[in-house]
A and B are shown apart, each in its own frame.
Chain A
Amino acid sequence: MDPRRTARTVSDPKVRQVGFFTPAPPERSISDPPRFQDPIQPSSPSPTQVNDHSPSGNSLSPVMIPPAHHHSDNFLRTALQATSPTKAFSYSAKTVTIPPENEDVASSFSPGRKVVSAKSPSSFPGVKASSVPASELTTVSVVNLPPGISGKCVYKLKGKLIAEKAGGASVEVQNDRPVSAKTLKEKTSKAERRALQEAQRAAKAAAKGLNLMSVLLTYGYSVYLVYFTFEQILNNFVPVDHYVFLAEGTKASSAASKVVTSANTKPSKAAKSSSQKNDGSQVAASEKKGCDRAPEKDRKKDAPHPRMQYDDKSRVEKAKKRAVVKKTEARNRVELFRHLPQYEHGTQLPDLETKFFELDPMHPAVGLQYLSGDIRGGNARCIAMFQAFKEAIKDYSTPPEKTLIRDLTARISSYVSFLIECRPLSISMGNAIKFLKNRIAKLPLALSESEAKSTLMLDIDRFINEKIILSERVIVKHAVTKIRDGDVLLTYGASSVVEMILLHAHELGKHFHVVVVDSRPKLEGQLLLRRLVRKGLSCTYTHVNAVSCIMQDVTRVFLGASSVLSNGTVYSRVGTACVAMVAHAFRVPVLVCCEAYKFHERVQLDSICFNELGNPDAISKVQGREEINYLDGLVNQENLQLLNLIYDATPSDYVSMIITDYGMIPPTSVPVIVREYRRDHLWS
């Protein structure tokens, strides 16, 4: 084996565990150690390793930015090594270019996976793992599952030979090059031809997988799962047009063509996934690998929601038909923000109230509270939503002839769209919904309805406790170490975490002064100010315009965030960017406090492409200042527009540090957290 690789394996086991194509922690600890095994020191998966990565291992120790190198390049390198010396597999160097796709095919082919990952870690010791070091550079890992779900998966990574054996039926998928590829070579460029070939190869492999799966899966909805496989593959091949699949119709069944057509009828969906892939298919593939089939689809399903472009007339019309409540479009909209929804404030309210008791199982109270602004702040909204979901799950009973997994997922989706109608979801809520849907999808089929319901409710409680409440505490613990006696701390708006930090530091007996900066129209700072003053903290209150006058006395800026995006951009209450910018200009460190569940893989450069619009009337009227009434008669004037932005995006260069539950990290490390850690913990 390559000595370099071995050395790193030993010194750095942590990285190894985040394998390139292993979806879930339990699974990973089976298949990974053999994969990176040192022939001299054969290792077997130890239970301590598993514990390390279970969410309960969320200890308070400040962590630890994962090492810089990623597996994809590791894999690439090994793939490169594999291709030249071993000609056993009839692959030219071309195959090296598409490891992620192949990977994904591999992961989507293993029906056993789902079963394994859905099992709780406690059932884990029953799984025996043995490894067979293969000749040359090929590593083979054999996983023996307990009798109930006995399956045998053999992965020959570099050769891309995928053999699966499940339920006694053994099918070998040999990924050889399709002959038909040559016949299709036309007047295309070399690159196109290559893309075509690769696509065909994958399509063929997929078709084989389809056969395999229809053999293996004797459930009533095997087609449903096949659908998944295809959609997944399809989405991995975004650069290639979908017609490739149509052209290579030799093995594609009717299910496959259905997938193709459905994909074609959803251009925006495809566009969405292609935009996701822009930063390299490797990233996309590594995102994919984290999940199983079912959650994969769920993610696709709810991914476009926050990104609906409201200047797309046809889609808006469709959405209107679905809508539960009637909404009136706001007049005099700002041209720049046509793509965001904006409705007359309060027009939904009476409509919702009349439907209060009609809106079967969902409790519209939460939506109403969002709408009226009674529940504010990412965490509060998230918890309220989860409580409502819990209620809904408690009342839920599966209708006859339906399966719980599918029906409940659909229910949750309808609740979510209802909430969106009340107020667009925050990014953190999107993440939380993903978590819940993932949980539903991974429910073991054998579970009875009541068991499934209690499992889900436990999961929800666990999410609230671990991802929100506990991580807030961890953040407080970290952040307090950054407060010294005599500090002047500035905060903007009202962040629940920052408030906890300040109060905790006060309880610890630190002497510091707080500057609360506030802005119209919400004036959330006043609420924070009142709570702080009540606890005896010495405060200064000012508005956002005066921030540059006061900044020279400030020693630290603590800011909350609605979300942290993977390019380090902090998406937060409008005005945060101004405060961070001024702090940066005055060389004052800016510390952003944000729970890791709010991190998102989206990237954003400005505050315009994605945002939320508030009630424009809040701009024209100044609360508590009746003498400011210049605009009273002019609100309906054609050429006057009122813009009430809710969020803005703070560029990462203004952020000195992000304090999260994994520790204190620079903004450049956000994608690491997003990719490596959250996937393990949240989607496991």
Chain B
Amino acid sequence: MLFMSINFLLAADKSSRSRKLKHDVIEAVNELIQDISTCHELIAEQAVEHIHQNEVILTLGSSRTVLEFLCAAKEKKRSFRVFVAEGAPRYQGHLLAKELVTRGLQTTLITDSAVFAMISRVNMVIVGAHAVMANGGVIAPVGLNMVALAAQKHAVPFVVLAGSHKLCPLYPHHPEVLLNELRSPSELLDFGEFSDCLDFGSGIGAPLLHVVNPTFDYVPPKLVSLFITDTGGHNPSYMYRLIADYYSADDLVLERRTTSGN
């Protein structure tokens, strides 16, 4: 909806209508900002419906939505423990663990590699998302595909918290590569020690050593048990419908029309 308004704005002349349009756009943007800021609360409100007493919850990396979700359950006097996988190479899990500890939750920090070992004692996996695709797949912090597979193996519910602003009308195609972002190798390796192997100019033309440091993982919809959005809980198969509520069909073909228009 926002994009559509901007599109109109760009097309509009400096006519009297433009002021009205500007106003509408600003309105819409404000509404969106409002949505984003309140979605955490709306999602967190549902926490008590999903977290019961003595539950063991696993999460990976850090997400504000997850933090507020867990804290909301804690405020309702539910006592449960949280396993936080640290989420290499950004180690946002440390941050989440810190927040949870300061708010009084029982927190255990584990390495990402211990996820499989621990998942057999976990009741629920709760994670945040970067984006939710139209097919119900999730673009999430790296490592979550592994967690989702482990959860599926042990029949542990894999719950994704996502505000409706994270819905994306695209269908993923080869998302591991096309919808990903590669970060600096320096996060994984010390350049000082490995600089000689990373060098392109070393004889054969190609470096001996490549470092892959992706930011996102794609979790296919079959591994997701439930989406909790600000409008309630949804199955992965229902996500296309939610997206249709938020995006008009015009938005989906937005890019193509602008290119053809120009």
Contacts and interface: CB of A to CB of B under 8 A. Distances in A.
Contact of B86 (A575, A619, A634, A637): A619
Nearest to A548: B145
Contacts of A625: 91, 187
Interface stretch (B5-13, B105-113, B224-232, B251-259): B105-113
Interface in B170-190: 176, 180, 185, 187-190
Interface in A608-661: 608, 611, 619-620, 622, 624-625, 628, 630-631, 634, 637, 639-645, 648-649, 651
Given A540-B211, A625-B91, A575 B113 contact: yes
Nearest to B180: A549
A608 B120 contact: yes
Given A546-B142, A574-B117, A622-B91, A582 B149 contact: yes
A642 B115 CA distance: 14
Contacts of B159: none
B101 A634 contact: yes
Contact of B146 (A336, A526, A545, A630): A545
Contact of A520 (B111, B121, B150, B180): B111
A542 B107 contact: no
Contact of A574 (B113, B121, B150, B213): B113
Given A544-B112, A631-B109, A578 B213 contact: no
A544 B193 CA distance: 21
A520 B110 contact: no
B212 interface: yes
A334 B111 CA distance: 14
B193 to A, nearest CB: 7
Interface in B143-160: 143, 145-146, 149-150, 153
B117 A630 contact: no
Interface stretch (A150-158, A171-179, A242-250, A531-539): A531-539
A521 B111 contact: yes
Contacts of B193: 526, 530
A578 B116 contact: yes
A381 to B, nearest CB: 20
A641 B116 contact: no
A543 B209 contact: no
Interface string A127-170: 00000000000000000000000000000000000000000000
A540 B109 contact: no
Given A541-B188, A548-B146, A630 B211 contact: no
A542 B176 contact: no
A577 interface: yes
Contacts, number: 184
Contacts of B28: none
A540 B115 CA distance: 23
A102 to B, nearest CB: 41
B109 A641 contact: yes
Contacts of A637: 101
Question: SS class of chain A's interface: helix, strand, loop or mixed?
Answer: mixed
Contacts of B101: 634, 637, 639-640
B99 to A, nearest CB: 9
Contacts of B118: 607-608, 643, 645
Contacts of B83: 643
A631 B197 CA distance: 34
A364 B180 CA distance: 51
A634 to B, nearest CB: 5
Nearest to A334: B108
A543 to B, nearest CB: 5
A540 B209 contact: yes
A521 B114 CA distance: 11
A607 B150 CA distance: 13
Contacts of A630: 94-95, 97-98
A529 interface: yes
Contacts of B113: 519-520, 544, 573-575, 578, 648
Contacts of B150: 578, 581
A547 interface: yes
Contacts of A374: none
A186 B148 CA distance: 58
A585 interface: yes
A640 B86 CA distance: 13
A606 interface: yes
A546 B208 contact: no
Contacts of B95: 630
B121 A608 contact: yes
Interface of A: 334, 336, 518-521, 526, 529-530, 533, 536-550, 552, 573-575, 577-578, 581-582, 585, 606-608, 611, 619-620, 622, 624-625, 628, 630-631, 634, 637, 639-645, 648-649, 651
Given A540-B209, A574-B114, 19 more contacts: A530-B193, A541-B211, A543-B89, A544-B112, A545-B142, A545-B143, A546-B142, A546-B214, A548-B146, A548-B149, A549-B142, A574-B111, A574-B117, A578-B112, A581-B150, A585-B149, A607-B118, A640-B101, A643-B83
8 contacts: A521-B111, A536-B208, A541-B210, A544-B146, A545-B88, A578-B150, A622-B94, A628-B91
